[in-house]
Amino acid sequence: MTTSHYIAGRWVEGQGSDCISVNDPALGQPFAELMTASVAQVDQAVAAARNALPVWKQVSANERAAYLRGFAEQLGQRREALISLQMRNNGKPRHEAEIDLDDAIATFAYYADLAEQLPERNREVALAAPGFTARTRLEPVGVVGLIVPWNFPLVTSAWKLAPALAAGCTVVLKPSEVTPLIEQAYGQIADTLGLPAGVLNIVNGKAETGAALSSHSGLDKLSFTGSNSVGSQVMRSASAQCRPVTLELGGKSAIVVFDDCDVDQAVEWIVAGITWNAGQMCSATSRLLVHDGIADALLPRLQQALETLRVGNPLTEEVDMGPLTSQAQWLKVASYFATAREEGLQCLAGGKALDRDGWFVSPTLYADVPVDSRLWNEEIFGPVLCARRFSTEAQAITEANDSRFGLVATVCSADLERAERVADALEVGHVWINSVQAVFVETSWGGTKGSGIGRELGPWGLSGYLSVKHVTRCLG
């Protein structure tokens, strides 16, 4: 694949000095290659977005909404191909890949509706002082760079691309080098819909390409989802330009289980929170806080549930969990298994890589993990669950909040008043009560502390791509 970059409405060959090898993680083998974009091509993409901005931001809200609905419809028409690619390149089971696609479709449809409401947000402002009128005008931020991760390609890009286009921004999108193929669908759809050239640009590459984009002086905003280490570099680049950023970073989230829960139901919520996408989620609830009164009944049941999960190749088997997406992530998770052995942690399930082709690890449970353990404190990004017991509600809240991250949490309790009270006390951006991690486009996504800056989804996601202008006029 040579024409892997979409710049100014044209597919062009990569002119970078490196080659991206795209792998099937269930086999541990490459199935495609593409050349990276050069720094000059990043410049061209930003210039194309800059040239397209004056016209695009004047396009009516209804017309922008029509394009967004076109993206939703075209994603649906490519359903089977995109699901298969998500399974092959990410290793996702079919049911997860289907949800990913439905999420992306819903996101474009939702922001189409919000785009149509934008004219209503240009309104008069009441003033206490006589002799003046004022109005608020919402304008697009401008040219935005979007850098997306490999764990939820197609989805994370939809969360950024749809509100940016709805606001009237033009875009340069950089997919992850681990999963660069599926975002090509957005360029193909732009061609099909006749989206004006330069409104959407896609450049593929590795760290050098991301650095060239994040430091580019031609951007007005940058939105990044990924690791904290790279996020801090993005923030430094933004500070040199005094440029606004949205950062969605890591997590080390807690799931708190009280002793009035149904054990089987609690096990279902716990397993989903740590094994969905093979645990490769910033929102993975990888710290289990379980009440003393239920721990002895729950932990053996949880051990059994993890040991009986079907792990395998989603393209050839009926599976509950697929492989890790990259060899690098497989090696990272394996290193934490070694650390657990060095720390003498009690392993109730898993704790090892699987002896088969591909990048598979076993769903893992460690019990009675001390608070100073690396596994309790560090984001592993794999199906590795650490459990601790608590005796009081106050202790559970304190230990759940004792983290440098603050993305999400889950509370499990039959006492809904207590569950709501605990949810209010947790220092995170999103809390689920008695539920799997159901994410709806109408709600916000983002965290506190080291989990990032800003919010995606909902009206907050659109606001991140809008600039507020006030116009005040003297009547005298």
Contacts 24+ apart (CB under 8 A), 416-419: 418/258, 418/393, 419/258
282 a catalytic residue: yes
Hey, which residues does 222 pair with through a beta bridge? 145, 245
Strands 452-453 and 245-248 turn out to be antiparallel
Distance CA 146, CA 74 (A): 21
Distances (CA, A) of 10 to 45, 49, 167: 11, 13, 23
Q: Over 80: is that where the pLDDT of 1 sits?
A: no
Q: Are 430 and 452 in contact (CB under 8 A)?
A: no
Q: Which of 96, 183, 248, 456 is catalytic?
A: 248
CATH 3.40.309.10 domain extents, the chain: 254-440
Q: Which of 169, 282, 386, 412 is catalytic?
A: 282
Distances (CA, A) of 283 to 185, 267, 411, 431: 26, 17, 14, 10
Q: What region does 243 belong to: left with phi over 0, alpha with psi -120 to 50, or beta?
A: beta
Q: Are 379 and 252 in contact (CB under 8 A)?
A: yes
**pLDDT given at position 2:** 53
Name the token pair of 120.
């209503």
Q: What is the pLDDT of residues 121-145, one digit of tens each?
A: 788 999 999 999 999 999 999 999 9
Q: Which of 165, 157, 145, 147 is nearest to 101 (CA)?
A: 157
Dihedral Cα 385, 386, 392, 395, nearest 10 deg? -120
For the sheet containing 245-248, what is the strand order? 10-12, 5-7, 200-202, 170-174, 143-147, 221-225, 245-248, 452-453
Domain at 5-249+451-474, CATH from 3.40.1390.30, 3.40.50.150, 3.40.50.1000, 3.40.605.10 = 3.40.605.10
Distance CA 236, CA 152 (A): 25
Q: What region does 142 belong to: left with phi over 0, alpha with psi -120 to 50, or beta?
A: left
Q: What region does 149 belong to: left with phi over 0, alpha with psi -120 to 50, or beta?
A: beta
**pLDDT given at position 3:** 67
Q: Are 1 and 33 in contact (CB under 8 A)?
A: yes
Q: Over 70: is that where the pLDDT of 98 sits?
A: yes
**pLDDT given at position 121:** 78
Q: Which of 42, 5, 37 is nearest to 202 (CA)?
A: 5
Q: What is the pLDDT of residues 371-416, one digit of tens each?
A: 999 999 999 999 999 999 999 999 999 999 999 999 999 999 999 9
Q: Which of 12, 4, 34, 2 is nearest to 21 (CA)?
A: 34
Distance CA 69, CA 237 (A): 34
Q: Which of 230, 221, 148 is nearest to 184 (CA)?
A: 148
Residue with tokens 């009081």: 392
Rg, C-alpha atoms of the chain: 23
Question: Spelled out in words, what is the top-level CATH class assigned to the domain 254-440?
Answer: alpha beta
261 a catalytic residue: no
The pTM of the full predicted model, rounded to 2 decimals, is 0.96
Measured from the Cβ of residue 467, the count of other Cβ atoms closer than 10 Å reads 16
Q: What is the pLDDT of residues 33-63, one digit of tens each?
A: 999 999 999 999 999 999 999 999 999 999 9
Distance CA 271, CA 303 (A): 10
**pLDDT given at position 120:** 81
Going 451 to 183 to 382 to 33, the CA torsion angle's sign is negative
**pLDDT given at position 40:** 98
CATH 3.40.605.10 domain extents, the chain: 5-249+451-474
Q: What average pLDDT does the structure give for the chain?
A: 96
Q: What is the pLDDT of residues 154-199, one digit of tens each?
A: 999 999 999 999 999 999 999 999 999 999 999 999 999 999 999 9
Distances (CA, A) of 3 to 12, 152, 215, 308, 402: 5, 23, 25, 44, 48
For residue 338, count CB atoms less than 10 angstroms from its CB and return exposed for 0-12, middle for 13-18, buried for 19 or more: exposed
Residue 428 has φ and ψ, to the nearest 5°, of -140, 175
Mean pLDDT, residues 91-103: 98
